[in-house]
Structure 1
Amino acid sequence: TTETANLMRTLKEGGAEVALCASNPLSTQDDTAAALVHHYGISTFAIKGEDHETYYRHIHQALDIRPTLTMDDGADTVGLIHNDRRDLMETIIGGTEETTTGVIRLRAMANEGVLGYPIVAVNDALTKHLFDNRYGTGQSTLDGILRCTNMLLSGRVVVVAGYGWCGRGVASRARGMGARVVVTEIDPTKAIEAVMDGFEVMPMEGAGSVRG
């Protein structure tokens, strides 16, 4: 994505040798990947919609630079290093992981005593919750829905499942666009927070039948 591209450009300007592969083939932007290679000389191994075999081949190709640091999004790269490329851990001094899914996988590995090098859980940073999850995901989720459906959101009923950081962002953005927002939440504290923020809160089985 363009956000990742800017991070790669910054790292290269700082003197790093960088190789990039996709963390999610469905979000790869082919024009961005091509620009990184053509204009900035950054090795990029990613194709939008690539199949399972190509996805993992690209991870292997990115790892061929024998990295000192890894920056992962979902822990697929770290998992592959531990399963198939253990020789690389001789030179890796650390890494980062930015997703909840990835952090869960890595903590399980750490608890089992098999995590081979230290990794910073970027996902746990307050700035990640506030700015990426709440505001970034809050906006991009609705943007994706509107692009796919060409729907007028004003006057619609939007049901938000869960009032975590992402749910807060989606609910806030939907209300700002004129939707009637219903929140479902099993955590009583978060449910009360949603009520105090001005949203309707009810069980999922009831929310599905709400009409605008």
Structure 2
Amino acid sequence: MYPSTKQTLRKIYREKRMGLSTEEFQHLNGQLIARVETLEMAPWQTVHLFLPIAGNKEPDTYAIADGLRQRHPDIRIVLPKTEQGTRQMSHLVWDAWTTLVPNRWGIPEPLGGTAVQPREIDAVFLPLLAFDEQGNRIGYGKGFYDRFLAECRPTATKVGLSLFDAVESISDVSPHDVAMDLCVTPTRIWRFNTIP
């Protein structure tokens, strides 16, 4: 049987992603970004994005931001900023004046800016290493996003981004894990819950 615990899947999918050649990564990333652009974003006013860690072969969310700014200039883009020692995040508007600085994990974060409360956010794009057919995701294991999502409105759309398709199931999902509504991959958009 295929390994299905978070720890095992985290290791497998981190290695799988890092094993992609530059050409494979660029091809998969291009397909994923093209699918993101088909999402119905017009109703959203505030979108939360993560920025990729250099060298980790994460989806290029800079391209998603560029697309949002071109097609939906009224949408406010928000980035997370980790709070040292608390395992919490604050959320700041990303605009033309924002200075980005890598944090201790190499994640680009806003140095300052206008704060946004989680309940103001309409959609959250989520980093992940793997996900299952029920919409459960496996992140890097720090729990920042599960705590953040618990503070968002239940109606906020939770969108995963993955270079690979779903595994059948994650065996050790915990009660505080927040499932996704959608997950965009290079080959399809997975829809969970009741998102049309």
Flag the structure with higher helix content.
Answer: 1
TM-score by shorter chain over 0.5: no
In the superposition, the TM-score normalised over structure 2's length comes to 0.34
In the superposition, the TM-score normalised over structure 1's length comes to 0.33
Flag the structure with higher strand content.
Answer: 2
User: Which structure has more RCO (C-alpha within 8 Å, separation ≥ 6)?
Assistant: 2
